Chain A
Amino acid sequence: MPMKGRYPIRRTLEYLQKGDIIFKNKVKIMTVNYNTHGELSEGARKFVFFNIPQIQYKNPWVQIMMFKNMTPSPFLKFYLDDGEQVLVDVEGKDYKRISQHVKKILGKSEEVLQAEAQAKMQASNPANFGPKKYCLRECICEVEGQVPCPSTTPLPKEMTGKYRAKMAESQE
């Protein structure tokens, strides 16, 4: 299968997972206005080309819209939960600076992300057995190297309950 597009690395999972802008919960819509020609829009164009896939991957529930050649100068606009609109002017800025700026004002900080990861780990203990929806495994027979499920292969005689009961009875 051939690689598609000018920079097909943007389509790899590794690249997408490297994205570090995770928006706060109150950001709902992100809008990018930029121009297809012109030196001042260069940073915005690179931002759209390289960083938007990462952002959308990490924030699947944020609506991102791109508008081309509508205004003379490029800008970003964020629409928050409570109706607030945040305007970010990106004329002449470098795309790395733009992404740092966005991360600073509307991204989740490192501590928050770590706290969330901790909470998720605590909620899902891998040592628990239960329904597949909540735990990793349902029965010990699913683990490699343990006794297989008696529904697939019958247990050896010595392990069955009725044999043991018979032996115990015959001994008394």
Chain B
Amino acid sequence: MFQVIGGRSVQAVRLLAPRSAVLVEAVRGRKSRNDPVAKSKEGRIKVPPPVDPVEMVVLKERYSEYELIMRALRLEFKEEVLRKKYEEETGSQAEERARQEKEEHRALMDWNDQENLQMLKARILRIQKEEEEAESKTVEAAIQREEELQEFIRQKEKEILQLQEEAKNFITLENLDQRIEEALDNPKNYNFAIDKEGSVVKRTVLQ
């Protein structure tokens, strides 16, 4: 029944100084279906406003002409919009534009393909170079390993020879007695001092 108002109409209604906390105003269609008629409107018969026939005729004519013109204008404008849209999509210029765009697109795609081919060539070259490098590296590594192996063998051979040389001076069971005799015959004196250069400085006298 009552509508709570806010916003623009608030200020105007505030001037009417309402006592209630919430601002309310009357709205059309206040009464519901089953409410009785107001006392002041009991015998009221609703009468439509009187119509002047002459005025009616004149107005009808004028209104019909006016509506005709307005309707025609509206349809004209609608048709113009539709025609423009049609021209835009399936007109002669649109076809040309589409063709030109296709041409440009094809040209660009060709250019792109060229770029891709160049990249492909560069990539093939690069891969070949890498393969060659890898191959040469493996070959080098094999050679290196071979050399190391040879070096190792040589080292071992040298050691064997050295050992053979030393073996001549070993003390065995046969010349044990002889060596003992020799050692007893030549006493060695280890009591000596050396200076920083390594030459002997002092020796004690052997008893």
Which residues of A pack against B, CB within 8 Å? Answer: 73, 86-89, 91-93, 101, 104-106, 149, 151-154
Contact = CB atoms under 8 A, between A and B. Distances in A.
A151 B115 CA distance: 68
Given A89-B120, A105-B108, A153 B115 contact: no
Contact of B109 (A86, A92, A151): A86
Report which residue of A89, A91, A152 has the largest number of chain B beta carbons within 10 angstroms of its beta carbon: A89
Nearest to A106: B108
Q: 5 closest pairs, A vs B, by CB? A: A151-B8, A89-B119, A105-B108, A89-B116, A105-B112
B109 A105 contact: yes
A154 B112 contact: no
A93 B11 CA distance: 69
Interface residues of B, number: 14
Given A89-B116, A89-B119, A105-B111, 4 more contacts: A86-B112, A92-B119, A105-B109, A106-B108
A87 B115 CA distance: 10
A137 to B, nearest CB: 17
A73 B123 contact: yes
Contacts of A86: 109, 112
B12 interface: yes
A92 B116 CA distance: 12
10 contacts: A88-B112, A88-B116, A89-B115, A89-B119, A91-B119, A91-B123, A105-B109, A105-B112, A151-B8, A152-B11
A92 B119 CA distance: 9
B116 A152 contact: no
Nearest to B15: A154
Contacts of A154: 12
B8 A149 contact: yes
A87 B116 contact: yes
